[in-house]
Amino acid sequence: MAHSKIGFYGDSFVETWRHDDGPKNDLKTWPRIVAEKFDLDIVHSGKGGTSYWDIPLQQFSLDNVPDILIFCWTSSSRLYNKDRIQLMPNPRESLFQLGEKKLDGVTIAKMDSAARGYYKYIHDEKKEIAEYKACLYWFDETILSQVPSDRKIIHLWSFGHDKHDTKLSGKYHPHNLTYMHNWKHGCEIRPSCMSVALMDGANFHDVDKSENHMNTQAKHDLMASFVMHSLIDTNVNGGYDREALNDYSENVVKDHIYTTMPPSK
């Protein structure tokens, strides 16, 4: 079939801004590069700051499935909230909310306080990882197994999981990341999006306000090339392989040095 629609599901790494969103950015973003390359209409955008649970609970539906699906799986540590308040171990100075429903500042502050208490007194890392793996396995086996075979599915990782190596920890270096699920339904791309974003010695402050956190055209072009290659050339015959693992880590590592540590929280 001729592909005509593409949907992006996940957090800010796959969010497509409206013209009035965020600071002015003259870069052509990687989702738009991919859409233009294959002459696709973008019918769904990711939502910045959301939990991985936002994909199955609020973003993706088996009704009217686009021709190409791009999923980007965010950190396991973000707490899900139906009002899309960003709740994470190291919250921003000012929380934000996405979607039509607006909460008052007092309510948001109470939610922030509750989240901080959870992470301080209740949170358990082993439980967090187990729940993350369970969600991804369930989504893969139960939901994606129902997506028609003529649709193309791509899986990205926002961050991956740090191996806590003392030399590379915190830099999102591809050699220091692990990933919590091997996808059965969908072509998986590695390394993480943040690995690309932090190339060239960039730090979190450099990329925080950029669309998809790519602060140069070269980074958008590189990310787009990974996705486009995965859509058209994932096996020896040049076709799409729904169970492929395309690891482009060496493309990210070989020409770039990771020199900066993330800002302290």
Section 28-47 average pLDDT = 96
24 vs 32, higher pLDDT: 32
Full 3-state SS string of the chain: CCCCEEEEECCHHHCCCCCCCCCCCCCCCHHHHHHHHCCCEEEECCCCCCCCCHHHHHHCCCCCCCCEEEEEECCCCCECCCCCECECCCCCCCCCECCCCCCCHHHHHHHHHHHHHHHHHHCCHHHHHHHHHHHHHHHHHHHHHHCCCCCEEEEEECCCEECCCCCCCCCCCHHHEECCCCCCCCEEEECCHHHHHCHHHCCHHHHCCCHHHCCCHHHHHHHHHHHHHHHHCCCCCCCCCCCCEEECHHHHHCCCCCCCCCCCC
Task: Sketch out the chain's domains with CATH numbers.
Answer: 5-82+139-253 (3.40.50)
pLDDT of residue 5: 97
* Contacts of residue 119, Cβ cutoff 8 Å, sequence gap at least 6: 89
Range from 72-86, 125-139, 234-248 carrying the lowest mean pLDDT: 234-248
Q: Residue 170's pLDDT is what? A: 76
At 113 the pLDDT is: 87
Res 62: pLDDT: 98
Query: Residue 88: what are its φ and ψ, rounded to 5°?
Result: -150, 165
Over 80: is that where the pLDDT of 18 sits? no
Query: Tens digit of pLDDT for each residue in 54-94?
Result: 999 999 999 999 999 999 999 999 999 888 777 888 765 55
| Interval 206-228 mean pLDDT | 94
Q: What is the mean pLDDT of residues 20-27?
A: 63
Query: Does residue 90 or residue 122 have the better pLDDT?
Result: 122
- At 43, phi and psi to the nearest 5? -105, -10
Whole-number pLDDT of residue 235: 57
Of 171, 129, 174, 156, the C-alpha closest to 74 is 156
Can you give the pLDDT at residue 262? Answer: 40
Name the pTM for this structure: 0.89
Residue written as tokens 């052509």?
Answer: 28
